[in-house]
Structure 1
Amino acid sequence: MGLRSLVPGSSLAALLLLAGCSHAPVGPDYQLPSQALAAQPAASAPFAEAASALYSPEPLPAAWWRLYEDPRLDGLVQQALAHNTDLRQAVANLARARALEAEVAGAQRPSVGVNGGVVMGHKSGLDYLAPGYTPKPEWETAAGLAVSLPLDWFGQLQLQAEAAQASREAAEAATDLARVQVAAGTTRAYAEVCALGLQLRSARRSVQLQDEAVALTQRLHEAGRTGVTDVARAQGQLEHLRAALPPLQARRQGALYRLATLTGALPQALPAGAADCDTPPQLQGLIPVGDGAALLRRRPDVRQAERELAAATARIGVATADLYPHIRLGLSVQSGSPATDFLGSDSVGWSLGPLISWTLPNTGAVQARIAQAEAGTAGALAHFDGTVLTALRETETALNAYARELDRRAALRAARAQEATVADQAQRLYRSGRTGYLPALDAQRALASAEADLAASEAALADDQAQLFLVLGGGWQPEAAAPQAALPPASGLTSPRSPG
């Protein structure tokens, strides 16, 4: 026997009708506030520091590390994106946020309760109004069905779902941010390994040249053309140059350990081939940077802050709905009879109606919770604005730092060329006996210093490039992804919903 035969059709129709009725949610209707900095036209303008021949207005590609055209770097980044522990933690947090969203969505669905039982026994004779009568034992059955459907009359459940959805989207953005940081961190660690390899190569070359100078000075001393002081000076300079090698070796080994950890491997499991790199990765062509609008759409931390603002706004309505009754529509069907008349028409009872739960609210407490939610929203808006400002500042700073380091490298290259000329001339004069060793030593020291400064500048340039790509926020998008959705259009944040 079906439920429809137990409950009149008009009651079922009323159940469906009431279930479909709801009033507009209370509280503010979220849209990106017009006063948010992200909605200001200046935030979407081209970067002030990008007006040079170093940068392209083209959008940043998803896999920006491929601009280096370095297969070893490509493999390291892919390994890091697959195994990095920070990224795995972010993915787990996202799974938790999705489960919480599903839990909140479940509160909007009907709840069903079923009970039943079969017992052997009999009622007392007094129940039959027959003192001294003992009925015969028989099997008795009892069954019940209760269906309860929430009526979201004031939109509290809808707002809870909106807040959970926004929180899940914020967790997605946090996962994307982790991908950005992993890709950039891996690139920076690899670039540091290679740059320190370059510095070591330069330092070893200086040691080799000074070693040759020591041998020359020793021969001249043996020939009586120079004194023991010159030999000691040459040997001292050689040891000074050798002393520069261990710190560079330690830093390079540390960068290799960091690179291994970023790719999810044990520190001793150094990436294959990375230890042989001694030339920092070089970009091919101009750096694509886009503009402010593309940056704000692309940076996951900006998107995360905006979604947190949306979630905080929805919580104002959740708190406001506590001022109004909570209504559930209940349908209950019960049957109790002897086993021979199970679910007989004379054994079934049912009831249908709204179940209103409304404890007269402590208005002061509810208003306090509303005030807390509003304060949280104001804080989320300030955080969103701060994130936008930070994104724009970091990008302008990185663009400027990279350009200035290029200027520094050009000057250091010119200085190194001049010092090489001076050192060569001084060495020739010393060999011919036309000058003492001290001028030649000073020239060699200046050349070694210029070589070290140039190698350090190459290292700084490689790091500045990776830092620039980090602040541009690329590296989380699938390469075949659809165009990114823009932030919600600017509009009023606190346009109120009112109960209808």
Structure 2
Amino acid sequence: MRRRHRWLACVAASLCACTTVGPDYRVPDHAAVRAPGANGALQGGAAHGVAIAPVPDDWWRLYDDERLDRLVQQALAANTDIRAAAANLRRAVALLHEVESENLPQGGVSASVSRAQLSAESFLQTEKPPVFNLGDFGFGVSYLVDFFGKLARADEAALAGAQASEATLDIVRVSVAAQTVRAYVQGCAATHELAAATRQLGVQQRTLDATRRLADAGRGEPAEVARERARTEALRAALPALEASRTAARYRLALLLGKPPAELPPDEVACHTEPTLRAPLPVGDGAALLKRRPDIRRAERELAAATAHIGVATADLYPSIRIGASAGLTGVLSHLGSGPTARWSVGPLLSWSLPTNGVRHRIHGHEAAADAALARFDGAVLRALQETETALSAYTRELERHEALHAAREHAAEAARQQRRLYQAGRIPYLAHLDAERALADAEAALAASEGHLAARQVDLFLALGGGWQAGRKAPPGLRFGMKKTTDSWTFKSSRE
């Protein structure tokens, strides 16, 4: 009994002496995500048309368009890319649980029956033994003592990988929401531009008819008729492209919604003007951007997984100890169950591969992989800032252009009104009046095109800001992930259901 107690005490002391080899993960101090310039205000945040305000999760609701809201929700629920990313996340979570199961005792049962002729020579006999009916039944259980934290590091790597897969799913959600809004906006813009181009063509057709009548009456030149006919046909040539753009936008929406084109009627997505924001576009600041962008979160989790893999490889430098026990019955089948056929064993098993099999080189390889993951993490941070600043600049400049075109349209409208009154009073010819109408139609067409560009720039900026993945998000089976930023490092927390 004393020996047994002494052996158990040694095992307990050994368990208490367990350690976890390899580096403990934390975001390096020199990482780009920690730079003050990355966490401050955006350079274009004070520009006209934007506001330093939190970006809402469902940013498309800022357009106050019920049809658009419905389309985005349908896309987030049925898009094929989202379904594939969700399946990949479930696979990553299953892999995590598979790795976690290595921390549990492993057991097995075996049973076999055979008719055998044993070799006499194997027993140093010359007389051939009889043929036997042999039976074997047994079960065993073992537990790997994680002295050096190999299983703990593997668990860390699998958890980080599952979180990276969740971030990938969020990236797809961001993309699908933005693509849905973009396709809807492009369809609206094409319809708007088509209406403006049709008005241009109408005014030009009236100008051509008037020029032809003057030429027929001998008061104009045939060259003027040819010039006006060329302008008319040029305007007519623009209409098919706008029709094709509107149709393509509808087909793109069908793809995003996971439907065949025939199942998305034109009336369901029809609109005549681009949706507009009711307030300045909220952009937040750099710190909120870095927390919100799922590609940054994925890169950070990949860095955490790469760091944990260093510990997994480092643990191979040390012995592996497994405590096991087994019991069973082995012998002649007719005697199975009697005392002489019983067997059992209990005790530890130690295995140790000498570090001449490339383990240290494998560790160096994982260290290099961690350095590459840090570089990708820094790149994701810098790319997020670059994309956001670029999209913000493009939006504010297009907004300035749109305001100038709007002022031009107002002046053209005023000029057309004055020319119309002069023509009605008989003080100017009909063609002078049509020139003013044509200038107004041209200004309206340019403004319609600018409104389409402005709406597209808004979508680009919202996409760069990284919002939209929170909509309809559900926790994967067995896990809930969340991100928080502390004063010393970016960390992730998870809870098991």
Mapped contact 1:19–1:149 kept (Cα < 8 A) = no
> Residues 263 and 367 of structure 1: is their aligned pair in 2 closer, same or farther, counting only changes over 3 Å?
same
Equivalent residue in structure 2 for 1:335, among 324, 329, 344: 329
Specify the code of the residue in structure 2 equivalent to 1:58.
Answer: A
Task: Find out whether 1:313 has 2:311 as its counterpart.
Answer: no
1:107, distance to aligned residue in structure 2 (A): 2.2
Match of 1:386 among 379, 384, 393: 379
Deviates more, 1:367-376 or 1:171-180: 367-376
Q: Deviation at 1:64?
A: 1.2
Name the counterpart of 2:156: 162
The answer to whether the 8 A contact 1:33-1:492 is kept is: no
Query: In the alignment, what sits opposite 1:116?
Result: 111
How far, CA to CA, are the matches of 2:92 and 2:473 in structure 1?
Answer: 26
Aligned pair partner of 1:398 in 385, 388, 391 = 391
- Residue 495 of structure 2: aligned partner: none
| CA deviations over 1:294-324 (Å, ceiling 9, x no partner) | 1111111010000000000011111111111
Report the CA distance shift for 1:492/1:101 in structure 2 as closer, same or farther (over 3 A).
closer
* Counterpart check, 1:408 vs 2:401: yes
Give how far 1:121 is off: 10
Inter-CA distance 225–421: structure 2 relative to 1 (3 Å threshold) = farther
CA contact (8 A) 2:203 2:441 kept: no
Residues 418-472 of structure 1: per-residue CA shift (max 9 Å, x gap)? 3344456667778888778886676565444322221111001111111111111
- Residue of structure 1 equivalent to 2:466: 473
Aligned: 1:212 with 2:206: yes
SS at 2:170's partner residue? Answer: helix
CA–CA distance in 2 between the matches of 1:28 and 1:69? 50
Instruction: Decide whether aligned partners of structure 1 residues 483 and 407 sit closer, same or farther in structure 2, where only a CA change above 3 A counts.
Output: farther
Q: How far off its partner does 1:287 sit?
A: 2.0
- Trace 1:23-422 onto structure 2 (pairs within 5 A): 23-52=18-47, 54-117=49-112, 142-218=136-212, 220=214, 226=220, 228-274=222-268, 276-336=270-330, 347-362=341-356, 365-422=358-415
Structure 1 residues 280-289 or 477-486, which shifts more? 477-486
- Bigger drift between 483-492 and 208-217 goes to 483-492
**TM-score (structure 1 length as normaliser):** 0.84
1:175-204 alpha-carbon deviations (Å, 9 max, x no partner):
011000000110011011101111111111
Question: Secondary structure at the residue paired with 2:73?
Answer: helix
Residue 456 (structure 1) aligns with: 449
Residue identity matched to 1:199: E
Give the CA deviation at 1:348: 3.4
CA distance change for structure 1 residues 208 and 442 in 2, over 3 Å: closer, same or farther? closer
Note if contact 1:58-1:288 (Cα within 8 Å) is conserved in structure 2.
yes
Distance 1:366 1:492 in 2: 31
* Structure 1 residue 490: Cα displacement: 3.8
**Structure 1 CA distance for aligned equivalents of residues 9 and 208 of structure 2:** 103
SS of residue paired to 2:313: helix
Against the structure 1 CA distance between its residues 22 and 478, is the aligned structure 2 distance closer, same or farther, given a 3 Å change threshold?
Answer: farther
Q: Where do 5+ consecutive residues of structure 1 fail to align?
A: 1-7, 125-130, 494-500
Q: Is the 8 A contact 1:159 1:315 kept in 2?
A: yes
Q: Distance in 1 between matches of 2:472 and 2:116?
A: 72
Quote how far apart the aligned CAs of 1:278 are: 1.5
Deviation at 1:344, TM superposition (A): 5.8
Amino acid at match of 1:158: A
- One-letter amino acid matched to 1:485: M
Task: Give the match's secondary structure for 1:464.
Answer: helix
Q: Secondary structure at the match of 1:305?
A: helix
- More moved, 92-101 vs 180-189: 92-101
Deviation at residue 339 of structure 1 after TM alignment = 7.7
Structure-2 residue corresponding to 1:486: 484
Q: Secondary structure at the match of 1:350?
A: strand
Aligned-partner residue type, residue 407 of structure 1: E
CA contact (8 A) 1:22 1:154 kept: no
SS in 1 for 2:442: helix
Partners of 2:15 and 2:437 lie apart in 1 by 88
Query: Is this contact kept in 1: 2:93–2:162, CA < 8 A?
Result: yes
1:128 aligned partner: none
Opposite residue 194 of structure 1, the aligned amino acid is C
Distance 1:308 1:399 in 2: 29
Secondary structure of the residue aligned to 2:261 is coil
Distance in 1 between the 2:185 and 2:11 partners?
A: 65
Measured in 2, the distance between the counterparts of 1:307 and 1:492 equals: 10
C-alpha distance in structure 2 between counterparts of 1:63 and 1:320, whole Å: 45
| 1:276–1:359 CA distance, 2 compared to 1 (3 A) | closer
Amino acid at match of 2:483: A
The separation in 2 between residues aligned to 1:236 and 1:456, in whole angstroms, is 22
Conserved? CA contact 2:200–2:442, under 8 Å: no
CA contact 2:210–2:431 (8 Å) conserved in 1: no
Total equivalences in the alignment: 484
SS of the counterpart of 1:391?
A: helix
Unaligned runs of 5+ residues in structure 2 are 120-125, 475-479, 492-497
Contact in 1 for aligned 2:163/2:481 (Cα 8 Å): no
Distance 1:272 1:343, change over 3 A: farther
Q: Distance in 1 between matches of 2:374 and 2:208?
A: 67
Higher-RCO chain (CA-CA 8 Å, sequence separation at least 6) = 1
CA drift at 1:210: 2.2
Q: Which amino acid aligns with 1:72?
A: R
RMSD (Å), alpha carbons: 3.8
Identify if the C-alpha distance between structure 1 residues 431 and 218 changes in structure 2 by more than 3 Å, giving closer, same or farther. farther
In 2, distance between residues paired with 1:466 and 1:63? Answer: 13
Amino acid at match of 2:484: A
Distance 1:442 1:27, change over 3 A: same
SS at match of 1:331: strand
Contact 2:203 2:438 in 1 (8 A): no
